[in-house]
Amino acid sequence: MVNIRAETAGLPAHEIVYRRLRDMILFGELAPGQPVTIQGLVERLETGMTPVREALRRLIAEGALAFQGNRRITVPVLDRAAIEELTLAREALEPQLARRAALRCDEAALARLTATDARLDAAIAKGDVTGYLVENHQFHAELNAVAEAPILTDLVEGLWLRFGPSLRVVCGQFGTRNLPDQHKAILAALAARDADAAAQAMQADVAQGMTQIAAGLPDSIDSE
């Protein structure tokens, strides 16, 4: 199963560019604060200018990139206030998705999630940062798919795009050690079809993850 860079046949170029850029942001090929130029992406992705522009507008609308006023585009840098807001939003939405997932989870989905979590643990054990980021996102994406709530899933995906680059920075600083998660508790709650337990485990997972990101912030607030 080729999970990344799968079937891109027949899709419009702007869609392909969007997905590549999204993965670059989610999995840390772009660092916070880094400027993003249209022409640079045209060369790097070997495509025209129009698809790149459309993909960028889309990512800006989702908050994954920031429009700097003087028509410069950069990867946003999160400050404490932003992390606080993201934490609030994630804790409000993701437990609800876990709750719905627990009510709809079948054996096939549970097996998929368990397998993904096993790959995640393997990546952590190997110190494979990119693997960790990919499988962690995959785990949550599969869970959201089970919840069958497209709008909520969209909202949460947008939140993940916002903290993706910062998460990569954290992993770059601390490696894959000390990356605890509540996935085992989530899986147990899903297996038991216990919505309340799933929501609570997800809340703990979110809180833990966001604390990790906050810990990787620039120590002093000296940026203008």
| Footprint of DNA (CB under 7 A) | 10, 12-14, 36-40, 47-51, 53-54, 70-73
Which 97-126 positions form the footprint of a second copy (CB under 8 A)?
Answer: none
Cα gap 37→106, rounded to integer Å: 45
Q: Please give the DSSP secondary-structure letter assigned to residue 148.
A: T
Looking at residue 127, what DSSP letter applies? T
Contact, 195 vs 183, CB < 8 A?
A: no
CB nearer to DNA: pick between 38 and 204 = 38
Binding mask 121-140 for a second copy (x = CB under 8 A): --------------------
- State the binding partner of 23 from DNA, a second copy, none, CB within 5 to 8 A by kind: none
Cα dihedral 101→105→108→112 (10° resolution): 30
Q: Which amino acid would we find at residue 172? A: G
Asked whether 69 and 63 are in contact (CB, 8 A), the reply is no
Q: How many residues bind a second copy (CB under 8 A)?
A: 30
Residue span binding a second copy (CB under 8 A) among the ranges 40-48, 56-64, 109-117, 127-135: 56-64
Nearer to DNA by C-beta: 37 or 176?
Answer: 37
Q: How far is the CB of 70 from a second copy (least distance, A)?
A: 11
Is the sign of the CA dihedral 13, 14, 16, 17 positive or negative? positive
CA angle centred on 165, ends 20 and 132, rounded to 5°? 80
Interface contacts to a second copy, rule CB under 8 A? 12, 14, 50, 53-55, 57-63, 71, 82, 85-86, 88-89, 92-93, 96, 149-152, 154-155, 158, 162
